[in-house]
Structure 1
Amino acid sequence: MSTDAEFADAQPVPPIPPQPPRRPAAAAAPGPAEDPQTAVLRRVPPEPPMPPSAPAAPAATGPHPVPPRPAAPPRAQPPAAGAPLPPRPDRAPGSPAPTGPAAPGPSQPTAFRDTTAFRDTAAFHLARSQDLWSGPGARTAGRPSPVPWPRTPLPRQGVAHGTGAPAAPFRRPGARVLAAAACLILGIGLIGGAAAGSWLTEDTSGAAPTAEAVFAKGRDVWHDTPVDTLFPRTVKGLGAGPGGADRAWTRIAVAPDAGCTGAYDSKLAAALAPAGCVRLLRATYADATRSAVITVGAQTTKAGPAAMMALNTRFSSKNLSTRTDLMPLPYAAKGTVAEDFGRAQRASWTVRVLTDIPAVVYAVSGFADGRTFTEPQPAEAAVRPGTTTAPAESGLGHDAKDLADRIEADFRKAAGSPTPTRQASS
């Protein structure tokens, strides 16, 4: 297709109207130099023509030819450092001096305005004056030179950073430190192994221990269990008094653990002799009103299960636990409300020969004011409903029975065979 055919649809360009003749300057109008309030835009000389020696650009063969790029004018060299700047000319070289204000003429359309002759803009002057502000070496390849970052010097070897003092040299741990660490690891391993072994040997099925194990452990209860566990400081009996009333007892004395010599009357000592005696523990309690005192005791025997079963059968069949000549002795601690609690003040008692653990548990009660009883009554008989005896109505039978129940339960629990009880301790 021809070139004329390509531009057949283009809009015709209107002709440029001629400029009107310039009006003569008025005689009375002041010139630009005389009027400081008037701003005159100076004309910038056009770009110089290309030198004849430059080869001509080849003609464009495409539909839209690109005009050749004019060569850049030589850059003005900045003045030397310290030299005064040359005065700025009032007008461009080669232009005539103005004789008056230019007559306003009709403005040309933007599409036909000569953009190469008018360059009096802030961007143009800023680009021209860059060398005056930054110097001739401020730009390298069209970009500002990068500012180097300051380098932080590394501390010298053996000097602590920031202090200047020599750092402590690295030392390997000595033989003592290594030996201590090895002992610590070995100890932790032994403890962990022992704990794991005990855990593995325990019966994880949750079954109750055997009767032989309970009986064997019951022989060591007296020295393996704290006294506050076997004889609590405070015992509360829920519904343990006459008519179902609640009772409370407080421990006022604990006898030193000793043998059985002199702890019983002769007849009771003879009745318990077949079982033998390892240790006897005793304690004395007072009720809430401190008018009744009760001594409880637990004797650990040397007999085996068969001998304890035979002794229990003998006490049951011959009613040895209800005979008044086989009553246990009280523990009358000096300086307490039980100081006057002796043989004549015994009102009620109970003696129990246990068969699941090697122990004999007993209790004996009386009044704290020292009054005597001519007809003491066993606790099992005094707690029966309808009994009107003095031990029954005063609650001394209930005190002896319920405290004996509590101490018996504590010994069995310590041996690994707990039993339910109505008493609560604190």
Structure 2
Amino acid sequence: MSYPSTLDSRGLRNWATRAVGELAHRRDEINALNVFPVPDSDTGSNMAHTMEAAVAELDNGGDVADALALGAVRGARGNSGMVLSQVLRGVAESTVESVIDGSVFARSLQQAVELVDRAIAEPVEGTVITVLQAAAEAADDAAAQSSATLHSIVSAAIAAARTALERTPSQLPALREAGVVDAGGAGLVILLESLLAEIEGSTGRTGVLEPETDTELEVVFFFEGDIDALQTAIAPLGDSLVIARATENSANVHIHSFQAGAVIETAFAKGKATNLHIEALPAHVDPAAENSVARRVFAAAPAGPITDLLESAGVTVVPPDAPLAVEEDDIVLSTGLSMETDAGRVVPAQSLAAALAAISVYEPDNPDTVAVVAAMRDAAKSMRVAYPSQETLPSIIATCRDLLAEGGEQATILSALDIDEEDLAQQLRVDVVALKVPDIATEIGVE
């Protein structure tokens, strides 16, 4: 079978989005391997976040390889995220106009090794660094063969990386005692496997650490293009699909899927996808089972986009002054209610933004109502909310900056004004979700 001899900027972008999907999909699996240098179970999360930051930087335009490297370096978390960022930096420093062939790939891994050696004063054998070195050496040897191709060189690097990963327990006592391989090395193998999958045009999952059970992911992004075509293409890939249109050709898209990589690839293929965010969802419980959850969630909200969004998430929206007939385990979001209630489980939410934050973590199939309510209360409480002094875009931006000065990864804006999410996200350097709500005083929440 013949494979492409090069990947252009589009192929590089696709590789990155595949890697985002795979690392996010297997985040918990990699976290479970994390026992060195400290057992803080965050390597999978760190690598997924680093790759998400790399892809997010693509929204700012420019050379694809440079953007991926810049985003990864800026967003790198932990040692493993730093190593991943240096691989992308190696690619950026080895390619011209974001085109990768076999020799460029081999050179980029060697460059990454040199960059990591400079960054880490005392490298430890049996970690992701060992796996990277093995992959780089194998790629270099394969590139020296007269019959070398991009596919053969990447395949050789993956084979060597897998072998090195399998040997890590024999090199590091902490791994041997726990009976696991190195978590960062596992993430690096997934990154390389995503590249091979892009070269082969594969849509299936491969890997040395295939999880026993799939993890469902929440995928959220802003899309510009043919929305109807996107909906037709991704609807079969998951459920809980919500497409909140900003215009006829742009929308905020939300879907739960076991095929996050395929969703992301489809979005990039159908148009422009920005503000990408991925989170692992709790394990699915069959609602038809005997212990299915019968509770309901109530909230008051103005008619329009907010009500549509809440109802799409399974919330029963009521008028502010409506009497509530609730059961003991029903959940009531206090936002907008003109009368107090002590019935059910109340989630204090002093703003619509806080209510949206609470419902974003609601687990409808989790039978532990106490835990569900606690998570919703924490989410609502963590949403910092402010109101601009004037109903103008400059005042909104200033208020956002004031809130973000204390930290935050996303700004949620509810306003009667037209807000360009993409433009504002570029100015604020965080994800922005803006909903147009008629006849409302602008409300801004940061989390």
The reply to whether TM is greater than 0.5 is no
- Greater radius of gyration (CA): 1
Q: What TM-score, normalized to structure 2?
A: 0.25
Q: What TM-score, normalized to structure 1?
A: 0.26
Q: Name the structure where helix makes up a greater proportion of residues.
A: 2
